[in-house]
Amino acid sequence: AAYVDSGATATDNVDATVTVLTGGAVDANKLGTYTLTYNASDTAGNAATEVTREVSVVDTIAPVVTLLGDAEIIHVIGTSYSDPGAQVTDSFDQSLTYTMSGEVNPEVLGTYKLIYSARDSSHNEAIVLERIVTVTDGLEVSLIRSTFKTISENGGKNEITVSLSMPALADSVPVSVVATPASRVKVPAFVPVIAGDKEFKVSIEGLDDTLSNGDEPVTIQLRTPYRDLGEPIEMTIQDDDLEAPVAGTVSDGLISGATVFFDRNANRVLDADEPSTQTDNRGGYQLDLPASLYDSNGDDVVDSADGVIVARGGIDTATGLTLETPLLAPPSATVINPITTLVSNMIESDSSLDADDAAALVQSSLGIGGVDVLNFDMFEEAGNENPAATEVIKAAAKVQDTIVQAGSFISGASTISKAASYNLISEILVKKIKEQQPIELNDVATLESVVEEAAMKAQVVIAPESIKGAAAIISDSNQLKESAVDAAGSVVQAAQEISRVQGHAQSESQSDLADLGAGIQSLEALEIKYEADNLEKLVEETAVGPVSGVDERVGTFAFSSADYEVNESGEAVSQIKITREEGNLGVVDLLVTPQALTASSDEDFVSAPIAVRFEDQEITKTLSLEGVLIDDQITDAGESFTLQLGLKEQGDSPAKIGAIAEAEIQIIDNDFAGTFQFKVVSNTFSEAETGEQYLVVERFGGNSGEVTLELSEESLAGGATSGVDYTYSQSSITFGDGVLQRKVSITMIDDAILEGDESFRLNLALPSGDLSGALIGSNAATDILIQSDEVDLPPVISSIADIQMLEDGSEVTANFTVNDDYTAIDRLRVSATSSNISIIPGQNLTLAPIGDGGMWQLGMLPLPDAYGEVLVSVLVSDGINVSLSEFSVSVQGQNDAPAISAIPAMIDAVGKQVVIPFELTDIDHRIEDLLVYFDTSQTDYIASRSVDVRGTGVKRDLVINPTGLAGGTGFFKLTVVDGAGARFSRAFTVHFGGEAPQPVVPELFIERDGANGFILRWEGDAPLYTSHDLTGSFEPVPDAVSPYRVDALGNAFFKLGLKP
């Protein structure tokens, strides 16, 4: 910083002001000692004594050391280490360098610390920095697992998988495999691990040592050139020169850690003389069954006659639950699951059945086709997207869940154990299969019969409504599996969602059913809890693990819901669950920390964090708040706090916290009666849902004491009528102490009347004089909408065939019938429309009923000279619905003859010219294409132009006697012919004066023949004459007889003569 001198002052006995002169300077950017001098003189020239000041510029700021490169370095052993170094900055010493202490030996594994320091010329010390260099072989192991713990000495296979916590660093590290003793297994000398590998595998094969007797333990140690890699892997080589190896997979979901054994005496217990093994984390097992030891009937085969394969215990990797029931399979099977369990039970119940026969019966009853259930690995096939796996997994899940749920209900209601109850349900299913009955586990009636029979066998009396309620809960759970399959986008997803339903069925649901059987839970409470929407939500909140057995991710942890209700005692109204998805590998410690909202920390709840540990493959934890909540004996309605979920270790953990990391806890005060209301403000039922329906009244904020509420009906305008549309008789409802929900029952009546939807209302109130302290919530009323199931269908019209008719023809009719489900035939409104009114206008469509049976006649008349296509629509209305029937009418055009407007029949042209205007018309041809000519035998009048047509186009003139000199009487026809040969003539007689000549020759007719010809026709055998000039002579046409064709090659005139 720049130096600012404080200066000096001078005083004098005469001068009031004396100036002080400063000498010298201070360089604040250069260390050293500087002298400043101060002098002054007064106006009389008297000099003051010089004063000096020493200023020392010193450095008090320490230099700064900055590491180049990372503070932690992983270095691969055997490669030279070059330190990135550091840099030093200082206020004055620009060339200052750092000092490094410590060293790294790149040839020896270990962690090395390097120290970086610096001191400037003013002895200021920099803050010391450290760098940690870890010399490693590049392999950091997170998990070593072995597929089997026991393998056969005769080529038994095992595989060791080493998972690395980070990809291998070195280009290549040879990992040697050392077996002790080496004589019992075949192992590779070494396995190369390449840079970037995240795991590697080692294959092990058992060797037969003829000098050894009995099973022998073997250890496998993996080693790099520098160290042992992990702990030794222990396994057993089984001495089984006569073994019959059995290998397979145990699954409900895949069962990890199950004990698999050969049950020789059918007691389902592992006895000392029975071989056993354990499943790996994908449910796989290998069990050796030498015929010399286990073939009891001497047929040299170990089969169902000798015993059964049993799997007990273990964890279902998909649900995270312990296997509830032992699973069985014949020795010939390569899978053990609920379906093979039924097969084995079938064989035990009927020794005449072999495995294949029993399997066929089970498949038929369960509706499974197209697979070998004794060897179909359903989860492996699901991974391969085999559609058949979906049906097998679904059927197996229904069987297992039904046994667990129904068995828990029977066990809760009786004195027999769960295991015995499970056996009862299984026996009943086997009985139905033997009777070749289809097992419809979605059907309430089927499940009801199973539970009833089990109760009878357990010698326990259970209320029929409880049995029916339990059956309905099991049925709903099984039907959800169907929905899961329908909604899934792949076979794997279907397997996951079926497992999610199982996770709930075999945990919370089976516990609730056991409590229902024991009378701990009321049927009414469970019916509300397991209503369709509620059940779906419970299933959605259930965690599901990997259906493949192991997901090598640690997992994502979250609360199953964002809000829960808990009694002030700490008992959860709905289970507080923490779920683990997207992985299930390893042990993970979590902390759940309570945080205050409206509830007070350490007054209403203990704020200390709650430790939660997930074991390897565990995917759900249920959290208890007993001991967390404090019962303060104070009425505190509606208090709440939150639970915050986090990892116990906040370092770089592969575990993750999911979306629901915070859950709000509503405390139900046991010192407050509570607030009561309808759960929803509107309900919809169909009148087709005859029988009892229910609404829910809920209690929240408190649960203390018994409270009675009044219920009342309220009619709504145009609404439902009690006793006609529904029945309701409940005037009050009572909540017992601690009860949070009750049902209000309504019975729908199907009145079979065509009507609209109708409504009524129920109101909730506290009785007058109530002293409970209860409150009524905002949903004090609820509307009930009853939807009519009488559907007014549209009228029905019989079909009408398409019609063809001729232009200018007569009216055409079509008959059709109409009818309606509710409206009388004579009240139906029938109408018809035309799509082209220029051809058939609406007024030319006539409708008339024929009799009383619903038959109608439709008349159709086209306009004159109109033709083309018309779409005719017949509409029938019952006043609400309209039906439409359409058909086409094709009016086929005909050639209309041309026309000549009126010409007088008698024309007086004595000594004068007469002009008569006329018009030509033709709706089908152009006027210029028409042929106009005179037809007469008195051709002299034509030749002399005494009769002539003048003009072109539509309007023309008939000119008669233009010279006034013609005489006699002439008979003429003015004829017009179109291109199709249609003709029209106007006959007229002209009186020129004098006597009229008598026609003696027949009439000559002309019509077109194509574009370049004409046809001449006449009656009789009169000769035909022709001329090209009317003033010239007419020559006879040789051999001309009618009809006679001539070419149009210019002007030509023809006439008939008298026969000689």
Report the alpha-carbon distance of residue 763 to residue 910 in Å, rounded: 111
Tokens for 800, please give them.
Answer: 């009408």
Alpha helical stretches, state H, 669-794: none
Cβ proximity of 983 and 931 under 8 Å:
no
The pLDDT, as a whole number, for residue 242 is: 47
**Angstrom distance (rounded) from CA 893 to CA 891:** 6
Query: Comparing C-alpha atoms, which of 316, 325, 312 is closest to residue 421?
Result: 325
Nearest to 34 by CA among 56, 6, 7, 50: 56
Identify whether 760 is part of a domain: yes
Judgement on whether residues 663 and 697 belong to the same structural domain of the protein: no
- The residue from 80, 115, 136 where one domain ends is 136
Q: What angle do CA 995, 999, 1005 make, to 5 degrees?
A: 140
What CA–CA distances, in Å, run from 265 to 71, 270, 271, 274? 66, 10, 9, 9
Q: What is the pLDDT of residues 267-284, one digit of tens each?
A: 999 999 999 999 988 899
* Maximal C-alpha separation, the chain: 184
31 belongs to a structural domain: no
Question: Is 7 a domain residue?
Answer: no
Q: Are residues 342 and 449 in the same domain?
A: yes
Asked whether residue 904 falls in the same domain as residue 1027, the answer is yes
Q: In terms of Cα–Cα distance, which of 322, 314, 327 is closest to 283?
A: 314
655 in a structural domain: yes
Distances (CA, A) of 98 to 87, 101, 372: 7, 10, 76
Q: For the domain that residue 563 is a member of, what is the CATH number?
A: 2.60.40.2030
Can you tell me the distance from the alpha carbon of 439 to that of 425, in angstroms, rounded to the nearest whole number?
Answer: 13
Ranges under pLDDT 70 in the chain = 209-214, 239-245, 637, 650-651, 994-1000, 1048-1050, 1060
- Predicted pLDDT at 783: 92
Cross-strand pairs, 194: 172
Residues 118 and 86 in one domain: yes
| Res 994: pLDDT | 65
Is 231 in the same domain as 221?
yes
Question: What's the CA gap between 183 and 7, in Å, rounded?
Answer: 98
Domain end point (choices 136, 154, 175): 136
- Contact, 98 vs 127, CB < 8 A? no
Strand partners, 834: 872
CATH number at residue 96: 2.60.40.10
Give domain status of residue 791, yes or no: no
Return d(Cα 86, Cα 683) in angstroms, integer: 75
Rounded to whole angstroms, the Cα distance separating 761 from 781 reads 7
Question: Does a structural domain hold residue 834?
Answer: yes
Q: What is the pLDDT of residue 498?
A: 95
Instruction: Tell me: do 645 and 715 sit in the same domain.
Output: no
Instruction: Check whether residue 131 and residue 142 sit in a common domain.
Output: no
CA 657 to chain centroid, in Å, comes to 26
- For residue 178, give the 3-state DSSP assignment: strand
Q: Is residue 249 part of a domain?
A: no
Q: Is residue 286 part of a domain?
A: no
Q: Are residues 429 and 570 in the same domain?
A: no
Question: Rounded CA gap, 118 and 845, in Å?
Answer: 112
pTM tops 0.85, yes or no: no
For the chain, the domain total comes to 7
Per-residue tokens: 36: 């400043």
Helix intervals (H) in 519-581: 523-529, 532-540
Distance separating alpha carbons of residues 629 and 569, to the nearest angstrom: 7
Q: Do 586 and 708 reside in the same domain of the chain?
A: no
Same domain, 384 and 411: yes
User: Of 83, 117, 136, which marks where a domain is finished?
Assistant: 136
Residue-number span of the structural domain to which 392 is assigned: 320-546
Domain shared by 571 and 614, yes or no = yes
Name residue 977's amino acid: V
Q: Are residues 336 and 476 in the same domain?
A: yes
